[in-house]
Amino acid sequence: MTTESVRLFVAEDNPADVWLIEEALNRHSISFAIENYATAAEAINAVVQYQDGTLPVPDLILVDYNLPTGHGGEILAAAATVARLADVPKAVLTSYLQPREHKAALDLGAKCVITKPAQLEEFMSEVGGKIAELLRARDAESIATEQPSRG
């Protein structure tokens, strides 16, 4: 488990859910910093800011699907246009998705769709576990790609 603080981009309008995500990360011993956007418009605006290369890219992008002013798919679509975010793992975190939205999210570059469990313990293990998994996979990939240059 990495001890470095991970930077999470979270589009989520429910502050209670942000708190639950934080708790889940704590329980998985992940140290983190969260950028939270409460509307789709704010999140999209933030995503396109990464284009110009001055801001450090996040380690993970988590988007809720139903948001004021739009939906998570629009944020994923905006992120897909930003080359610097290509290697950043993205996931949808939502109460429930219609099957066609589920498919659309994966098509737009989400690695997975995490359904927010109703029970607290499940939320902790499911959400925390999935985030940890995504981060590990990203690290493995970056090591694999960075290794030759190190040699």
Partner 1 sequence: MNVAVTAFEENNSTQHERVKLLLVDDDPSNLIALQATLEPLEQELMLADKGEDALRYCLDHQFAAILLDVRMPGMDGFETAALIRSRKSSRHTPILFLTAYRSDEQLFRGYDLGAVDFLFKPILPEILQSKVAVFVDMHRNERLLHRQTERVAVAERRFRAVLESAPDAMVITNETGIIELANSRTDTMFGHVRESLIGRDLRTLIPEWQPATTPEAGNGPVSNWSGTAPESRLTALRHDGTCFPVQITRSIFDTSGKYLFTTAIRDATEQVQAEARIQRVNAELEKRVAERTAELSYSNEALRQFAWAASHDLQEPVRTVLAFSQWLSTTGETASTKDRKRMLLTIQSHAARLHELLGGLRQYIHVSELGVTAPREASWTLVDCNAVLRQVTANLQDLIDENQAVIERDRLPFIYGNDILLVQLFQNLVANAIKYRSASSPVVRISGNATDSAWVFSVQDNGIGIDPKYHEYIFGVFRRLDRGGGAGMGLAICKAVTERLGGKIWVESPPEGGSIFRFSVPLRTEAEEQEA
The pairing of beta strand 6-11 with beta strand 32-37 = parallel
CB 64 within 8 A of CB 14: yes
Q: What are phi and psi of 12, to 5 degrees?
A: -155, 125
Member of 1, 53, 54, 98 binding partner 1 (CB under 8 A): 98
| Residue number, 111 or 116, with CB nearest to partner 1 | 116
What string marks each residue from 17 to 56 as x (binds partner 1 by CB under 8 A) or -? Answer: x-xx--x--------------xx-x---------------
DSSP state at residue 95: S
DSSP state at residue 57: P
Can residue 95 be called a binding residue for partner 1 (CB under 8 A)?
A: yes
Per CB under 8 A, contacts with partner 1 among 110-129 are 116, 118-121, 123
3-state SS of 58-74 is CCEEEECCEECCEEHHH
Q: Is 77 exposed, middle or buried (0-12, 13-18, 19+ CB in 10 A)?
A: middle
Q: State the minimum distance, in angstroms, from the CB of residue 148 to partner 1.
A: 45
The one segment of 3-11, 55-63, 64-72, 79-87 that binds partner 1 by CB under 8 A: 64-72
Q: In sequence order, what DSSP letters do the residues of 90-106 get, joined into one string?
A: EEEEES---HHHHHHHH
Q: State the minimum distance, in angstroms, from the CB of residue 23 to partner 1.
A: 8
| Residue number, 109 or 117, with CB nearest to partner 1 | 117
Tell me the C-alpha distance between 97 and 50, whole Å.
Answer: 28
The one segment of 51-59, 65-73, 106-114, 132-140 that binds partner 1 by CB under 8 A: 65-73
Which residues contact partner 1 by CB under 8 A? 13-17, 19-20, 23, 38-39, 41, 66, 68-70, 95-96, 98, 116, 118-121, 123
